[in-house]
Amino acid sequence: MSALAKQNDAVNLSQGFPDFECSIKLKEALQNAVMSGFNQYGPMQGIMPLRESISAKTQKIYGRFYNPDTEITVVPGATIAIFTAIHSVVNPGDEVIILEPAYDCYIPAVELCGGKCVFSSLVYPTFSINWAEIKSLITNKTRLIIINSPHNPGTSVMNENDLIILNELTRGTNILIISDEVYEHIIFDNKTHQSIALNEELAQRSFVISSFGKTYHVTGWKTGYVLAPEALTREFRKVYQYNAFCTFTPAQWAFNTMLQEEETYISVSGFYQKKRDKMKALLSESRFKVLHSAGSYFQLLDYSDVSDESDYQFARRLTIENKIATIPLSSFFHNKKDHKLLRICFAKEDETLEKAANILNSL
Ligand code: PMP
């Protein structure tokens, strides 16, 4: 959709990336790292000062200690973290439970290593988790459950009860968990992010994945990290050693500088909550229904009062004729299920949001 947006000179609310700049402090930190000569391969696990800072941050906000030496790996973005984690534990014939709508990199990675995806739908329209369905899908072949909170594209967040149920369902089994928490610092209305790291038993069977790209407005820097107990980290690194080996060194030093001040990540939720509220207010008179976004930098728009077209046709037409690009939600379902919903990204300058709202309000 981004390519189509470019071709048609459309306002681009499709792909999830900010159209504003990151902080000067972060840019300077990167520049300093480059100019100071931190330009060669770093250690496979990531530079130690950054791993120590990640460990300290995790302990501070989720109360769990991850050993920087044996339980934390810095990687070139969450996508490769997810791919690597899947490839380190899924064998041919293993079943992996995927909650749909699902971020698009889960299914191909499972299929590439011969795993079988088993699908559970999040409950429309809140996109909360249907635990009864998940329970019914668990078999002795279930190897992995992939969860994601705050959720892209559903914009829902897990609550304390979700963690309790997940723990009950997996206790005494060999099921592992990948918890995609790239939007951990973008959660609204004073809710607390329910990281897997909060729960002792769950943490023992989980890969917890985060991405600095989202937190610090630099998706193009592709830097993230994985928290996992030692045995899982060992397996993870066996694959990672050969599919990437290490991560862009200067960015690691730059993020380490940022992590020294907790305000740099604590302030992100408030920043995006204002954007969410602004977009909702701008669309209040439109014929689109704005679904509640509890986290992430996305919102879902119900267009059923505007058009009968499929979400794919409608999104294409909006891009080409009305010059606004969005993502049809059906693209996040393996069977292309259509709920007449479009996903928009509000990680944009206020001016971009106003421009977009003008177009949407005219429909
Ligand atoms: N998971 C989710 C839910 C995402 O939205 C994204 C980015 N769009 C990723 C993973 C990938 O993050 P990264 O850019 O760090 O690879």
CA–centroid distance, 78 to ligand 1, in Å, is: 5
Ordered by where they begin, the domains of the chain are 2-16+266-361 (3.90.1150.10), 38-260 (3.40.640.10)
pLDDT tens for 233-267 read 999 999 999 999 999 999 999 999 999 999 999 99
Stated pTM of the model: 0.98
DSSP state of 128: B
Q: What is the CA radius of gyration of the chain?
A: 20
Q: Does pLDDT of 291 surpass 90?
A: yes
The number of the ligand 1 atom at minimal distance from the alpha carbon of 180 is 1
Mean pLDDT in residue range 194-217: 98
- Provide the edge-to-edge strand list for the sheet that holds 289-290: 289-290, 298-302, 341-345, 327-328
pLDDT band for position 151 (50/70/90)?
A: very high
Nearest-atom index, ligand 1, CA of 213: 15
Average pLDDT over residues 178-203: 98
**Which of 99, 214, 248 has most ligand 1 atoms within 8 Å of CB, for mutation?**
214
E strand or H helix at 210? strand 206-211
Q: How confident is the model at residue 2 (pLDDT cuts 50, 70, 90)?
A: confident
Torsional class of 85: left (φ above 0), alpha (ψ -120 to 50), beta (otherwise) = alpha
Measured CA to CA, the distance from residue 188 to residue 150 in angstroms comes to: 10
Give the mean model confidence (pLDDT) for residues 199-214.
98
* Local structure of 57: helix, strand or coil: helix
The mean of the pLDDT values for the chain is 98
CA of 79 to the centre of ligand 1 (A): 6
Ligand 1 proximal residues by C-beta, below 6 Å: 16, 77-79, 103, 148, 152, 180, 182, 211, 213, 219, 222, 224
Q: Which of 98, 103, 272 to mutate to test the pocket of ligand 1 (most atoms within 8 A of CB)?
A: 103
The string of pLDDT tens digits covering residues 161-174 is 999 999 999 999 99
**Token pair of 131, please?**
């635990």
Ligand 1 pocket mutation pick from 146, 182, 346 by most atoms within 8 angstroms of CB: 182
Q: What's the pLDDT tens digit per position in 77-112?
A: 999 999 999 999 999 999 999 999 999 999 999 999
Indicate if the pLDDT at residue 213 is higher than 90.
yes
What is d(CA 278, CA 354) in angstroms, rounded to the nearest whole number? 9
Q: What is the pLDDT of residue 175?
A: 98
| 3 state SS of 289 | strand
